[in-house]
């Protein structure tokens, strides 16, 4: 049994993950040298905890995990409700703090909701592949998806909510929903996006979008992080400035460099080769996940793999978004911008 599992294991995914973890730990070592390596220590603990959990999960049949998905779904909904009553951090109630550690229920919800969606769709399709295209069944699927997404929007965390929407689209597409729904959804998005932008999104969210498209709109305010991150990436050139030697990174122009700007740190200190290598690793990882979805032994496995592929794609996309400076909701960068306005450079 163990030999069969190890033989069927997609080693390419495991190798990519281990390489990305190793690069991340090296980058965190540089990013945390002035803070007694606090974030690095936390990350090492998470890695140490995650490895045995990963090994255990490898030897558990995903069909069993899918069977307990409703229980996990109920637990995560309770956590998403509970987190709304926590103390806001940077304007969002997204984290539970347990001593010196913290965790974000929305991150666990990504995987659990993929399992729940896959479980629900396969149950519906027992009576026929086209059952998911029937309005009552489709509404049930949308309800399963809508409850956690609305709770995440309430935090507010629009990026993670968007990731949930993409998971639903990926899984429904793989499940074979009728094309009229796909075209209808595309039309709805085309109509809804401008309406959401002008009438629903808060000002800080609009600013992120505007600055992402044109950072020179406010180079000393909301566009500050965009410009600094680009300077960091450009300064790395081919081979980088060397670990612990990045100007933008080590002089405090990039913040928070341990999370939202970690890719800029890597580009500056390790250079284009390593930065491009990370992108290639993500492409391989996503490609392998799609391959698993195509070759899975049953629909349940295919839907889960498709949802996970979406997770990887959107997670890297969001990281790129943040590393281009759209994260502006932090006190440190705001203070720098205020000082810059008070003492302008001539």
Q: How far apart are CA 54 and CA 48, in angstroms?
A: 10
Q: Which of 111-120, 158-167, 283-292, 326-335 has the lowest mean pLDDT?
A: 326-335
* pLDDT attached to residue 344: 38
Supply 84's token pair.
Answer: 């709304």
Q: What CA–CA distance (Å, rounded) separates 323 from 7?
A: 38
User: Is residue 101 classed as helix, strand or coil in its secondary structure?
Assistant: strand
Report which of residues 155 and 75 the model is more confident about. Answer: 75
Which string of DSSP letters, residue by residue, matches 242-256?
A: -TT--HHHHTT-STT
> In a 10 Å sphere around its CB, with 0-12 CB exposed, 13-18 middle and 19+ buried, how is residue 144 labelled?
buried
Q: What does the alpha-carbon distance between residue 197 and residue 158 come to, in Å, rounded to a whole number?
A: 12
Instruction: Give the C-alpha separation, 47 to 22, whole Å.
Output: 10
What integer pLDDT is reported at residue 116 of this predicted model?
A: 92
Model confidence at 316, in pLDDT bands (50, 70, 90)? low
Rounded to two decimals, the pTM is: 0.75
- Residue 106 near residue 318, CB atoms below 8 Å: no
Q: Is the pLDDT of residue 154 over 80?
A: yes
End-to-end CA distance of the chain: 71
Specify whether the CB–CB gap between 79 and 112 falls below 8 A: no
Q: What is the mean pLDDT of residues 134-160?
A: 87
87 DSSP assignment? P
Confidence check: pLDDT of 273 > 90 = yes
Helices (H) and strands (E) in the chain, counts: 15, 2
Domain ranges of the chain: 1-60+218-346, 69-201
Of 344, 256, 308, the closest CA to residue 38 belongs to 256
Query: Are residues 72 and 112 in contact, defined by beta-carbon separation less than 8 angstroms?
Result: yes
CB 2: neighbour CB atoms within 10 A? 8
pLDDT (0 to 100) of residue 23: 93
pLDDT at 22: 93
% of the chain residues with pLDDT over 70: 87
Q: Quick one: pLDDT at residue 324?
A: 45
Q: Give the model confidence (pLDDT) of 159-217 as tens digits.
A: 778 777 777 888 888 888 888 888 888 888 889 888 888 887 777 778 778 887 887 87
> What is the per-residue pLDDT for 71?
94
Q: Taking a C-beta distance cutoff of 8 angstroms, is the pair 117, 303 a contact?
A: yes
pLDDT of residue 272: 93
Burial of residue 48 (number of CB atoms within 10 Å: 0-12, 13-18, 19+): exposed
Residue 296 contacts residue 305 (beta carbons within 8 Å): yes
pLDDT, average across residues 41-58? 88
Alpha helices in the chain (DSSP H): 2-8, 11-31, 38-58, 62-67, 69-82, 105-124, 135-154, 158-175, 179-199, 203-213, 224-235, 247-250, 262-295, 299-321, 331-342
3-state helix, strand, coil in the chain (%, to 5): 75, 0, 20
Q: What is the mean pLDDT of the chain?
A: 81
């Amino acid at each position: 049994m163990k030999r069969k599992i190890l033989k069927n294991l997609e080693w390419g995914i495991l190798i990519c993950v281990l390489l990305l973890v190793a690069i991340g730990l090296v980058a965190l070592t540089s990013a945390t040298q002035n803070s007694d390596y606090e974030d690095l220590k936390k990350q090492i603990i998470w890695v140490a905890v995650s490895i045995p959990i990963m090994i255990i999960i490898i030897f558990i049949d995903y069909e069993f995990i899918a069977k307990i998905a409703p229980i996990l779904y109920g637990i995560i909904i309770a956590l998403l409700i509970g987190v709304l009553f926590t103390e806001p951090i940077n304007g969002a109630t997204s984290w539970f703090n347990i001593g010196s550690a913290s965790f974000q229920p929305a991150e666990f919800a990504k995987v659990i909701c993929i399992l729940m969606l896959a479980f629900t769709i396969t149950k519906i399709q027992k009576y026929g592949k086209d059952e998911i295209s029937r309005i009552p069944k489709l509404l049930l699927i949308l309800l399963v998806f809508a409850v956690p997404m609305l709770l995440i929007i309430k935090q507010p965390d629009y990026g993670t909510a968007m990731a949930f929407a993409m998971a639903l689209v990926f899984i429904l597409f793989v499940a074979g929903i009728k094309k009229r729904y796909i075209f209808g959804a595309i039309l709805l998005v085309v109509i809804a996006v401008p309406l959401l932008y002008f009438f629903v999104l808060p000002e800080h969210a609009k600013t992120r979008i505007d600055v992402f498209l044109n950072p020179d709109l406010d180079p000393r305010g909301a566009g500050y992080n965009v410009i600094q991150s680009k300077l960091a990436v450009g300064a790395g050139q081919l081979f980088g400035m060397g670990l612990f030697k990045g100007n933008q990174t080590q002089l405090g122009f990039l913040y928070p460099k341990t999370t939202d700007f970690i890719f800029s740190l890597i580009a500056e200190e390790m250079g284009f080769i390593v930065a491009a290598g990370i992108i290639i690793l993500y492409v391989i990882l996503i490609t392998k996940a799609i391959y698993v979805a195509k070759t899975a032994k049953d629909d349940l496995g295919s839907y889960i793999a498709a949802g996970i592929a979406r997770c990887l794609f959107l997670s890297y996309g969001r990281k790129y978004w943040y590393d281009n400076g759209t994260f502006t909701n932090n006190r440190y960068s705001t203070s720098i911008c205020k000082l810059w306005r008070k003492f302008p450079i001539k």
